């Protein structure tokens, strides 16, 4: 019994570890990419067709590869970065690669929601491109960005559950190893319930933080 | 106020390249806006007003001609110089365009942050400006907590933050109700008077021009068809476009047609609006008249417009009345009967 609890705790830790680390790195890559997609777009602050087109294609390509296939396909790259292709730290690499383009799209759509008139007003006051991104687009889109981050983190969590198939750890691996290979349905059910609870908790936190950051309501 | 030119526009043209070919939004525009003017630019929707005002701070780059702001040719500036020059040109908008995630005070501080003004100084300036526009007690309010008129006041304070020489108003009152519109116009007039800021107003409403502008340009089909002092354009619109704007219901172009005899049109072109002409005439001639049509406006204490009256049957009384009116230098003409 104690063993089981330890196993589950370890699973929770590994799941959270993979999710949080991957979300962080996905934003390190995806946030600038999303900003660039908006700034360089045809009606953007500083239109630049080549940058936009390259980013757009890269994002679409990466997003069309199913996660499991991507995770296997980039094993050599994962080895290069982490030194191994199995275990939770190794899973952060494919998770990041899979999530970054998704994050870029989320960021792009959040920034596009910012009223063009507000950007124009900032330009009329003599704001430069960097100031417009830093002082107008990002702060004005903050509630939407936080909402996007909630979606990103829960999506990455569900990806991480798939990581069990390709050598990763976490609750997904437990559910899969015990439930699928050893017919220990009770453990599978427990891990699924734990996953549900974690997703609910993340979503709840995200919603609360989003609402609190939103000044558009009275 | 001297006759120094603040904004000089010469042969300005703007062509948009679209999928369906080139669209000439503006062509051959020349305007001089003097320091201290409240200059109105009026036109119907699609006349090119918004494009023209955006050419004044190069938010739109003209495809031809030049825009000289306070002696500086804007199109010759580098990006950096242009950004700095724009700080001398405030702008307010129909939809206010406030930063929704910032308080009123932070909004007013925004242009100062962009100009990298010292924080403390910026905060003091923001407070002072919000007091000036009558929102000294709403510093911490977010735009969503303010009414339309209050939002526009914040926008005006924000436009004033960097001590501009000019404020461009793009349909600044079109989203507001008539009473709020009046209060915003009064505020703009006061700013013009006390701070000497030149104001350019884009509008489709003649009322706005009538209330605060001293000079006006009429824009039609992407060109300036008429420009001059507001009272001149009001009294004698030379072009079809101007007449449409001055008399939106077409009163100017289809003169009153009389259905009775002895109808006379009395034209007011800047006589004192304080003098009760018709009442005076009736008392003086001791005969009643029948007012059939009246459309006059009061601009700066002067009356403009026309009144059509039916004169009494008594020929002598009628003649006396005509003499009375002509003695007051009013134009009187008989309106021929219909049919």
CB atoms within 10 A of CB B327: 8
C-alpha separations of B99 from A37, A140, B160, B261 in Å: 22, 7, 16, 63
Q: Is the pLDDT of residue B1 over 50?
A: no
Contact A142 B101 (CB under 8 A): yes
Find the mean pLDDT for residues B281-305.
Answer: 82
Chain-centre distance for alpha carbon B95: 18
Does one domain contain both B149 and B14? Answer: yes
Q: Which residue has the higher pLDDT, B207 or B197?
A: B197
Does one domain contain both B166 and B285? Answer: no
**Interchain CB contact of B5 with A (< 8 Å):** no
Q: Which of A122, A125, A129, A146 to mutate to test the interface with B (most CBs of B within 10 A)?
A: A125
Contact A125 B142 (CB under 8 A): no
| Residue from the list B87, B98, B142 with its beta carbon closest to the beta carbon of A125 | B87
Specify if B210 maps to a domain.
yes
Q: Where are the alpha helices (DSSP H) in chain B?
A: 49-55, 79-86, 104-114, 119-132, 148-160, 178-195, 206-212, 230-235, 240-246, 277-285, 315-327
DSSP string computed for B176-199: S-HHHHHHHHHHHHHHHHHH--EE
Give per-residue pLDDT as tens, B140-159. Answer: 999 999 999 999 999 999 99
Domain boundaries, chain A: 18-168
Specify if B258 maps to a domain.
no
| Residue from the list A123, A131, A140 with its beta carbon closest to the beta carbon of B100 | A140
| Residue from the list B85, B100, B111 with its beta carbon closest to the beta carbon of A216 | B100
Find the mean pLDDT for residues A163-170.
Answer: 83
B257 falls in which pLDDT band (50, 70, 90)? low
Write down the pLDDT at residue B317.
87
Q: Which residue has the higher pLDDT, A170 or B151?
A: B151
Does one domain contain both B181 and B52? Answer: yes
Output the domain CATH number for residue B268.
Answer: 3.30.70.260
| Residue from the list A120, A213, A218 with its beta carbon closest to the beta carbon of B59 | A120
Does one domain contain both B232 and B286? Answer: no
Find the mean pLDDT for residues A2-26.
Answer: 93
Tokens representing B170?
Answer: 């793009």
Does one domain contain both B269 and B241? Answer: no
Specify if B251 maps to a domain.
no
- Give, to the nearest 10 degrees, the angle between helix A88-112 and helix A49-64: 130
Write down the pLDDT at residue A19.
95
Does one domain contain both B237 and B268? Answer: no
Does one domain contain both B272 and B178? Answer: no
**Residue B168 structural domain:** 5-246
Give per-residue pLDDT as tens, B201-239. Answer: 999 988 899 899 999 999 999 999 999 999 888 877 888
Does one domain contain both B169 and B314? Answer: no
- The one-character DSSP state at B76 is G
Write down the pLDDT at residue B270.
74
Write down the pLDDT at residue A166.
84
What is the percent of chain A where pLDDT is above 70? 100
Residues 6+ apart with CB under 8 A from B290: B309, B310
| B91 vs A contacts (CB less than 8 Å) | 121, 124-125
Give per-residue pLDDT as tens, B168-178. Answer: 999 999 999 99
Which of B193, B221, B246 terminates a domain? The answer is B246
Q: Which residue has the higher pLDDT, B148 or A173?
A: B148
For residues B14 and B64, give the distance between their C-alpha atoms in angstroms, rounded to a whole number: 6
Q: Is the pLDDT of residue B255 over 70?
A: no
DSSP string computed for chain A: -HHHHHHHHHHHHHHHHHHHHHHHHHHHHHHHHHHHHHHSSTTSSS--HHHHHHHHHHHHHHHHS-HHHHHHHTHHHHHHHHS-SSSHHHHHHHHHHHHHHHHHHHHHHHHHTS-HHHHHHHHHTT--HHHIIIIIIHHHTHHHHHHHHHHHHHHHHHHHHHGGGGT--SHHHHIIIIIIIS--HHHHHHHHHHHHHHHHHHHHHHHHHHHHH--S--
Strands B89-93 and B166-170, bridge-based pairing:
parallel
Residues 138-157 of chain A with CB under 8 A from chain B are 139-140, 142-143
Output the domain CATH number for residue B95.
Answer: 3.40.50.300
Q: Is the pLDDT of residue B2 over 70?
A: no
Is the distance from CB of B37 to CB of B233 less than 8 angstroms?
no
Does one domain contain both B242 and B295? Answer: no
Q: Is the pLDDT of residue A214 over 50?
A: yes
Q: Side by side, which strands form the sheet with B198-203?
A: B89-93, B166-170, B198-203, B38-42, B215-220, B223-229
Is the distance from CB of B299 to CB of B234 less than 8 angstroms?
yes
Does one domain contain both B194 and B158? Answer: yes
| Residue from the list B59, B83, B144 with its beta carbon closest to the beta carbon of A215 | B144
Closest approach of A97 to chain B, Cα-based (Å): 32
Write down the pLDDT at residue B125.
96
| A123 vs B contacts (CB less than 8 Å) | 59, 86
**Interchain CB contact of B142 with A (< 8 Å):** yes
CATH of domain A18-168: 1.10.3720.10
Q: Which residue has the higher pLDDT, A170 or A114?
A: A114
**Interchain CB contact of B84 with A (< 8 Å):** yes
Nearest to A26 by CA among A148, A113, A111: A148
Within 13 Å of residue B296, how many CA atoms lie on the same side as its CB? 25
Contact B93 A217 (CB under 8 A): no
Which of B214, B246, B278 terminates a domain? The answer is B246
Find the mean pLDDT for residues B293-314.
Answer: 80
Q: How many domains does chain B have?
A: 2
Does one domain contain both B43 and B165? Answer: yes
Is the distance from CB of B292 to CB of B261 less than 8 angstroms?
no
| A217 vs B contacts (CB less than 8 Å) | 144
B254 falls in which pLDDT band (50, 70, 90)? very low
Does one domain contain both B42 and B94? Answer: yes
């Amino acid at each position: 019994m104690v063993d089981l609890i330890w196993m589950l705790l370890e699973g929770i830790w590994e799941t959270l570890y993979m999710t949080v680390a991957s979300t962080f790195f996905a934003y390190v890559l995806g946030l600038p990419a999303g900003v660039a997609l908006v700034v360089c777009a045809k009606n953007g602050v500083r239109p630049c067709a080549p940058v936009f087109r390259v980013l757009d294609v890269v994002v679409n390509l990466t997003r069309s590869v199913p996660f499991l296939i991507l995770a296997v396909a980039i094993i050599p790259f994962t080895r290069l970065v982490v030194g191994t292709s199995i275990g939770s730290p190794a899973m952060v690499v494919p998770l990041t690669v899979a999530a970054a383009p998704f994050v870029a799209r989320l960021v792009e759509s959040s920034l596009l929601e910012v009223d063009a008139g507000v950007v124009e007003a900032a330009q009329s006051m003599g704001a430069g491109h960097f100031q417009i991104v830093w002082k107008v687009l990002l702060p004005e889109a903050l509630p939407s960005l936080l909402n996007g981050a909630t979606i990103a983190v829960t999506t990455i969590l569900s990806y991480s559950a798939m990581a069990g198939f390709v050598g990763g750890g976490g609750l997904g691996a437990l559910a899969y190893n015990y439930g699928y290979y050893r017919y220990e349905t009770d453990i599978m059910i427990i891990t699924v319930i734990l996953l549900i609870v974690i997703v609910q908790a993340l979503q709840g936190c995200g919603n609360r933080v989003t609402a609190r950051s939103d000044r558009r309501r009275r | 106020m001297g006759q120094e030119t603040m904004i000089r526009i010469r042969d300005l043209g703007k062509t948009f390249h679209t999928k369906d070919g080139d669209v000439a939004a503006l062509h051959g525009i020349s305007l001089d806006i003097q320091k201290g003017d409240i200059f109105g630019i009026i036109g119907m929707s699609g006349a090119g007003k918004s494009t023209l005002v955006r050419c004044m701070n190069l938010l739109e780059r003209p495809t031809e001609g030049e825009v000289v702001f306070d002696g500086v040719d804007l199109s010759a500036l580098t990006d950096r110089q242009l950004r700095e020059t724009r700080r001398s040109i405030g702008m307010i908008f129909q939809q206010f365009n406030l930063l929704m995630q910032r308080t009123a005070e932070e909004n007013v501080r925004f242009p100062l942050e962009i100009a990298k003004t010292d924080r403390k100084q910026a905060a003091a300036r923001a407070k002072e400006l919000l007091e000036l526009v009558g929102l000294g007690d709403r510093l911490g309010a977010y735009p969503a907590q303010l009414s339309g008129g209050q939002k526009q006041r914040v926008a005006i304070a924000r436009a004033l933050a960097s001590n501009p020489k000019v404020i461009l108003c793009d349909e600044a009152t079109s989203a507001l109700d008539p009473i709020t519109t009046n209060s915003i116009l009064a505020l703009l007039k006061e700013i013009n008077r006390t701070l000497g800021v030149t104001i350019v107003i884009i509008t489709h409403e003649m009322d706005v021009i009538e209330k605060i502008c001293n000079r006006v340009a009429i824009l039609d089909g992407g060109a300036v068809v008429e420009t001059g002092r507001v009272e001149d354009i009001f009294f004698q619109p030379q072009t079809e476009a101007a007449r449409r704007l001055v008399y939106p219901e077409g009163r100017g172009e289809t003169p009153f047609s009389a259905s009775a005899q002895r109808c006379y049109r009395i034209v007011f072109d800047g006589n004192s609006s304080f003098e009760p002409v018709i009442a005076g005439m009736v008392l003086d001639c001791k005969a009643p008249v029948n007012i059939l049509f009246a459309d006059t406006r009061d601009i700066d204490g002067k009356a403009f417009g026309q009144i059509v009256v039916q004169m009494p049957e008594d020929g002598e009384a009628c003649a006396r009345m005509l003499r009375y009116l002509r003695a007051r230098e009013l134009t009187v003409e008989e309106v021929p009967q219909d049919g």
